[in-house]
Amino acid sequence: MKSRKECIMERMALLSDESLVRIITDEAGEYELDAQEIAKEELKNRCIDIDAFFSRRNSKTIPCNSDICEENPVTLNDIIHNIDYSLVEKVLYDMHPEDLKFSSDYKSFFEKLLQMSPIISKSILIKIEKEQFDADDPSNFIWVISGLDIESGEKLNLELSTWNEWLGFHVRPEDLKSINQETFVSLCLYQMTMNGFSEEDRESNLKLRKNEGQANSYLFGTNTNRPDFIHDNVFISALEYKKSHTADEALQIRPWTRLWARSMDYSLIFFIFLILNKSVLHTEFNMRLLGISIIPLIQALIETPMLHFFGTTPGKWLLQIRICNPDGCKLSYKNALKRSFMVWLFGEAIGLNTVLNTFAYLVSYYRLSYSGKTYWDDKNKVCVIHKKIGILRGIVFITIFQAMFVLIWSILY
């Protein structure tokens, strides 16, 4: 296992000359002394004259307040009110596919921002820049998000800024030329929610990190949007924080839970059908045909409105399973119907015979286990969300399932 110093040295070796100079000059207060010494050593190895480099950089003109007025910058609030969230969402999940499980949280957060009143800043710009890791590989980079005080030229960490303040920060039109508005907003949303989707979570997590000395890590400086570099628990990334706070609900691969939930729904429908037939219809059925073909078809028809209106079924509800779109919304009736019939067709082979039915189940099981999605969920762009079941629900489920089995058996025989 690499030592802490070795990790810092590797990280420093990837930084640009400009970034290394900043570590030992205007951002020195954000880094520990050993990190600054390693930065100096790295610059020395590159034969960089620190004083000359710093002088050249400071000789560049620092933008003044009048520059902003002339360029007519917009605020983040302006951009958010004039952008299609669906486009932002697509970019967000392209960059962070692991955050798809938080789709409903992101959408609610965006809607919340639309209702907020921005605190207009007089001098702070939002800056988003690429930081290249490998000069030979242009695709190997991360986006660095920071603030710039145009009056002092000081670079700012925006992590402690409130969401109302974020909305009031300015964005130069020229800065949107190298990065489109959708990408800009998606990066801001990711950064703004890295400590949680609510004010309470944000405040509590910032307080926790401050108490643990994790804020303004020596390794990450002003850029707190670096989930790929975690050493010695010095930084809680957005993904790690969200995992710890939403562990009770997530996209998971749980084929057996889904099978038991479907079996419960099947048993309930079978039981109700037998009761109706015994009391009203008085019809003789081929039990084999009824069990493996007719009941699953009826189940598909009954399941459709349940998924459309409630996002779940009795069996799924007991086992804490929810079916939804990637944005967290319930399925349209058409999509729910299409999914239910695809389950009947591909998941149960329309009950042609026991061998084909078993084969269909096995194929579905292995596809879900190894690819993470069943064929019908993949084709319909559907998410299956699992929450922690709990002991009480488990007991209730087993009790009801056994009762259904006994009742069906007693009616049949």
pLDDT at residue 347, as a whole number: 87
Among 75-79, 162-166, 215-219, name the one with the lowest average pLDDT.
Answer: 215-219
How does pLDDT run across 331-389, given as a tens digit for each residue? 889 999 999 999 988 988 887 777 888 888 899 888 888 777 888 988 888 888 888 88
**Statement: residue 250 has pLDDT above 50:** no
Confidence of residue 240 (pLDDT cuts 50, 70, 90): very low
**Statement: residue 141 has pLDDT above 80:** no
Confidence of residue 51 (pLDDT cuts 50, 70, 90): low
**Statement: residue 57 has pLDDT above 90:** no
Among 149-163, 276-290, 334-348, 384-398, name the one with the lowest average pLDDT.
Answer: 276-290
pLDDT at residue 210, as a whole number: 61
Q: Which two tokens stand for residue 197?
A: 């989707």
Provide the terminal-to-terminal Cα distance of the chain, rounded to the nearest Å: 65
Count the neighbouring beta carbons within 10 Å of the beta carbon of residue 282.
7
Q: How far is CA 64 from CA 149, 313, 389, in A?
A: 9, 61, 58
Look at the block and give the residue holding tokens 């509800």.
317
Confidence of residue 315 (pLDDT cuts 50, 70, 90): very high
Count helices and strands (H / E) in the chain: 20, 8
pLDDT at residue 402, as a whole number: 92
How does pLDDT run across 175-219, given as a tens digit for each residue? 777 788 888 999 899 888 888 888 877 777 777 666 544 444 333
Q: How far is CA 329 from CA 94, 185, 221, 253, 333, in A?
A: 20, 22, 38, 20, 12
State mean pLDDT over 72-78. Answer: 82
Confidence of residue 72 (pLDDT cuts 50, 70, 90): low
10 Å CB burial of residue 316 (0-12, 13-18, 19+) is buried
The candidate with the shortest Cα–Cα distance to 120, out of 184, 70, 176, 167, is 167
pLDDT at residue 235, as a whole number: 32
Distance CA 195, CA 242 (A): 8
Report the percentage of the chain scoring pLDDT > 70: 73
Query: What letters, b where the CB count within 10 A reaches 16 and e where it falls short, cover 270-280?
Result: bbebbeeeeee
**Statement: residue 246 has pLDDT above 60:** no
Share the mean pLDDT of the chain.
Answer: 76
State mean pLDDT over 35-53. Answer: 72
pLDDT at residue 74, as a whole number: 85
Among 53-57, 321-325, 326-330, name the one with the lowest average pLDDT.
Answer: 53-57
pLDDT at residue 70, as a whole number: 41
State mean pLDDT over 93-116. Answer: 85
The candidate with the shortest Cα–Cα distance to 22, out of 3, 42, 47, is 42
pLDDT at residue 113, as a whole number: 92
How does pLDDT run across 294-309, given as a tens digit for each residue? 888 898 999 999 999 9
pLDDT at residue 220, as a whole number: 30
pLDDT at residue 222, as a whole number: 33
Confidence of residue 318 (pLDDT cuts 50, 70, 90): very high
Q: Which residue has the higher pLDDT, 68 or 125?
A: 125
Among 137-146, 162-171, 262-271, 311-320, name the one with the lowest average pLDDT.
Answer: 137-146
Q: Which two tokens stand for residue 161?
A: 């800024």
Centroid of chain to Cα 173:
29
**Statement: residue 284 has pLDDT above 80:** no
DSSP per position, 363-397: HHHHHHHHHSS-HHHHHTT-EEEEE---HHHHHHH
